[in-house]
Homo-oligomer: A and B are copies of this chain.
Amino acid sequence: MQTHKAKRVEIIIEAPMERRLTQALMGAEVTGFTVLPVLGGSGRSGQWSREGQVGRSGMVSVVCLIRPERLDSLLDAAFEVVDRHIGVVSVTDCEVLRAERF
């Protein structure tokens, strides 16, 4: 099956920042992404789990598949939002089906 090179960007970010991140992505014309729930985690600011939270706290994972040439504008837009906030960003090489969708 015919596949095409792409990048998979995974951004783990605080839930109250989710809407700001997706708006920044849209602003950078990244209109394809998927948001997954996160149960808990650990990082420099310590361990947490959704059970120990009240209200709209916690984190989410935002996954974007994107053409390689558009990666930089995506990372710039994302960095703007995550900069002062806790969270991590990773990028992986991947192949996608149906490249016309990206």
- B-contacting residues of A (Cβ < 8 Å)? 1, 3, 6, 8, 10, 12, 22, 26, 31-44, 47, 49, 59-61, 63, 65, 72, 75-76, 79, 82, 88-98, 101
In the complex, the answer to whether A43 meets B32 with C-beta atoms within 8 Å is yes
The secondary structure that dominates the A interface is strand
Instruction: Sample 5 A-B pairs with CB under 8 A, ordered by A number.
Output: A1-B75, A3-B91, A32-B41, A35-B38, A65-B88
B33–A42 touching, CB < 8 Å: yes
A79→B61 contact, CB < 8 A: no
Q: Which residues from B are CB-within-8-Å of A101?
A: 43-44, 88
Across the interface, which residues of B come within 8 angstroms of A96, CB to CB?
88-91
